[in-house]
């Protein structure tokens, strides 16, 4: 007797939607609270609090609608057998175009082209509303409709350029992998991730943003001095024109071995009161590097990827699994899609675990910056970023524990102040 894989997947999807909606309701209630958390009273201005509250509530209401539509569409696609129907129609299209429908690579690319068109059409109304209504209403959106569609077109072109060779390689590996399939798939994805991490900042990111060297001056000198004191092999220091699309701010670093680069959003430089706050944010980021957080995270992802492929190899030839989802053949891509659906419970647990680790890393990076003498500047910088990004001031503990990869501001400020209190005692 065949196991009810489809029914189990649908059941868990709906249960998770109910659970996550419950958390969303708790968070929405926290966002409606009319006053600041006590630790932020006198730290965050009332005007910024009211603006962040309005922004967060708008995003929360939008999220309820988006998630409801998403679960309805995903459930319908699986329950009504749209996935196998779409697979068959994509094969018919290949044959109609005079191509070999028996070639799994061509058939798969036809299927993915249809999926890409469908996802663009269904996602577009939400993206437009989020960008040009919510973000614009609260003063964040800086891009024109022309720039929005130009970015979307560039993204589609990149998918068309990079997708086919990657998909073809995965299909060939699965078809010829044999008993070591999981290792071959992992090795391919490992090499691909290294290549993409190398090429993305050099070839892809500049297609969407302009990167210019940070001008000579006090800020540059302070960052270079800090990097040198930690033996951070800083090769280039860039400013990215994030303000052309949004007034949200950020900073990040990338690069392998002795070729590290730091990127500052122009909005970060504009929003912080002085260079010391910007340097404190960089000190936090350098803490992640010095404490090997990036390496640990990368290794964890590689282990999880290998385990996922190992699980896939155990079920890829399961005729019952494919038939449960309405397929009478066993295409490679469909097998991967079905497998991803069947391991959703594990993925939620893993995601929760990774968030716990990420929050611990954030506290450690804050403590690292504090040891360097940037406690006051980092506190001021964190508050400024929270204010300028209109981030949620009140958060539900259950919601933040489940969703947040970064601790709420209240917790970070408390952790930064805790050693000071011990010294005073």
- Judge whether 362 is annotated as a binding position: yes
- The catalytic residue among 104, 266, 277, 366 is 366
Q: What is the 3-state secondary structure (H, E, C) of the chain?
A: CCCCHHHHHHHHHHHHHHHHHHHHHHHHHHHCCCCCCHHHECCECHHHHHHHHHHHHHHHHHHHHHHHHHHHHHHHHHHCCHHHHHHHHHHHHHHHCCCCCCCHHHHHHHHHHHHHHHHHHHHHHHHHHHHHHHHHHCCCECCCHHHHHHHHHHHHHHHHHHHHHHHHHHHHHHHHCHHHHHHHHHHHHHHHHHHHHHHHHHHHHHHCCCEEECCCCHHHHHHHHHHHHCCCCEEEEEEECHHHCECCCCEEEECCCCCEEEEEEHHHHHHCCCHHHHHHHHHHHHHHHHCCHHHHHHHHHHHHHHHHHHHHHHHCCCHHHHHHCCCCCCCHHHHHHHHHHHCHHHHHHHHHHHHHHHHHHHHHHHHHHHHHHHHHHHHHHHHHHHHHCCCCCCCCHHHHHHHCCCCCHHHHHHHHHHHHHHHHC
- Judge whether 288 is annotated as a binding position: yes
- The catalytic residue among 104, 266, 277, 285 is 285
Q: Is 266 a catalytic residue?
A: no
Q: Is 425 a catalytic residue?
A: no
List the binding residues for Zn(2+).
284, 288, 362
List the binding residues.
284, 288, 362
Residues labelled as active-site residues: 285, 366
């Amino acid at each position: 007797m065949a196991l009810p894989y489809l029914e189990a997947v649908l059941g868990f999807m709906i249960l998770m939607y109910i659970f996550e909606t419950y958390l969303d309701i708790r968070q929405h209630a926290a966002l409606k609270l009319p006053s600041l958390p006590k630790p932020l009273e006198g730290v965050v201005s009332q005007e910024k609090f009211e603006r962040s509250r309005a922004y967060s509530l708008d995003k929360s209401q939008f999220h309820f609608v988006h998630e409801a539509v998403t679960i309805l569409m995903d459930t319908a696609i699986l329950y009504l057998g749209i996935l196998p129907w779409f697979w068959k129609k994509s094969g018919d299209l290949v044959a109609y175009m005079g191509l070999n429908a028996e070639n799994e690579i061509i058939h798969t690319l036809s299927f993915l082209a249809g999926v890409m068109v469908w996802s663009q059409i269904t996602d577009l109304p939400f993206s437009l509303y989020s960008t040009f209504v919510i973000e614009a209403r609260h003063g964040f959106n800086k891009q024109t409709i022309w720039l929005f569609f130009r970015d979307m077109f560039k993204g589609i072109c990149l998918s068309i350029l990079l997708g086919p060779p990657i998909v073809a390689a995965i299909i060939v590996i699965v078809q010829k992998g044999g008993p070591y399939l999981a290792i071959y798939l992992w090795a391919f994805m490992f090499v691909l991730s290294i290549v993409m991490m190398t090429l993305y900042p050099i070839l892809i990111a500049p297609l969407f943003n302009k990167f210019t060297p940070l001008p000579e001056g006090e800020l540059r000198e302070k960052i270079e001095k800090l990097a040198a004191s930690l033996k951070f092999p800083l090769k280039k220091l860039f400013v990215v024109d994030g303000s052309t699309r949004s007034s949200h701010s950020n900073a990040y670093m990338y690069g392998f071995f002795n070729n590290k680069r730091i990127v500052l959003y122009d909005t970060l430089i504009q929003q912080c009161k002085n260079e010391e706050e910007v340097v404190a944010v960089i000190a936090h980021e350098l803490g992640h590097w010095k404490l090997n957080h990036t390496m640990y995270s990368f290794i964890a992802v590689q282990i999880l990827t290998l385990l996922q492929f190992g699980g896939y190899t155990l079920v890829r030839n399961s005729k019952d699994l494919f038939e449960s989802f309405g397929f009478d053949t066993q295409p490679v891509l469909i097998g991967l899609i079905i497998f991803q659906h069947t391991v959703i419970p594990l993925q939620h647990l893993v995601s929760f675990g990774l968030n716990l680790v990420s929050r611990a890393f954030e506290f450690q990076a804050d403590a690292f910056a504090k040891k360097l003498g940037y406690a006051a500047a980092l506190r001021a910088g964190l508050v400024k970023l929270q204010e300028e990004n209109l981030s949620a001031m009140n958060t539900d503990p259950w919601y933040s524990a489940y969703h947040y990869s970064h601790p709420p501001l209240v917790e970070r400020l408390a952790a930064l102040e805790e050693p000071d209190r011990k010294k005073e005692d």
